[in-house]
Amino acid sequence: MTIEMFLAALTGGAIGLAELVARYRDKPVSALLSPGGLLFVFVNASAAIVALIALASSGYTFGLPAETPPVNLAVIQVITAGIGSAAVLRMSFGPVNGRAGAGPIALLNGILRIADSELERKRALSRLSHNDLSGLSFERDHAALAELCCHLMREFDLAEAQRLGGLAAELSHRDDLTDADKLDCWGLELTRLVGERALRQAARRLRD
C-alpha cells in the first residue's frame, strides 16, 4: 500500500505542478519553490492519497472480474485517485455567474493567491533592481515595447490586451508620476506577462 500511496501522491502532485508551470510560465521554478507553490503541490498530493485510501477501504473494484490481478486493480485505483482527486479539488458549487466559486476550488484559489503575492514581490524587486529599460521613454516607447512583448508570447488573450490598454491610458493621464515612474510601472506589468528575459530583449531591440 505504501508504493500505491507514493504513486498516487506523485500523480496528484504532478497535476498540481503542471498547473503551476502553466500559470507561471516566466518563472516556474520560483513558483514551485515559493511557500504557496509548495503548499499547492502538497494539497494536491495529499488529496490523491486520501482518495486512494478511500477507494481501497471501500473495496470498490470498478466492475472488474474477480480474477483480475491485484496489480492491475492497484494501478487503476492509483490513476483514479490521482486524477479524481484533482477533479474534485477543482469543483465549484457557487453560482454560474458568480465571480468566486464556493467549494474545494476556493481552497486552491486561496493558495494560488499566496503564490501570486510571493511571485509579484520577487518580480517587483528584480525589476526595480535592474535598469533594463534605460534609454527608453514611456511616452515614446510604451506601445512599441508592448507590441514586441506580445509577439514573444505564444498565446495572448483579449482580456490581457484590454488590461494593458487600460493601464496605458491610466498611466498616460497620471500627472503625479514622472515618465520614468510610468515606465517602471509599465515594465512591471510586462514582466508579469512575458518575464524579465523577454522584456530585456524587447528593450534591447528598441534601443538598437
Cell numbers 528593450 correspond to what residue? 203
CB atoms within 10 A of CB 195: 19
What does each of the 208 residues of the chain score in pLDDT, given as a tens digit? 788 899 999 999 999 999 988 887 767 888 888 888 899 999 999 999 999 999 888 888 888 888 888 888 889 999 999 999 999 988 877 654 545 557 788 888 888 888 888 777 776 666 566 667 778 888 888 888 888 877 766 566 677 778 888 888 898 888 888 888 888 888 888 877 777 777 888 888 888 7
Q: Is 180 exposed, middle or buried (0-12, 13-18, 19+ CB in 10 A)?
A: middle
The verdict on pTM exceeding 0.95 is no
Q: Whole-angstrom Cα distance, residue 13 to residue 40?
A: 8
Res 96: pLDDT: 46
Question: What is the pLDDT, as a whole number, of residue 112?
Answer: 87
The per-residue pLDDT for 9 is 94
- Residues contacting residue 175 through CB under 8 Å, at least 6 positions apart: none
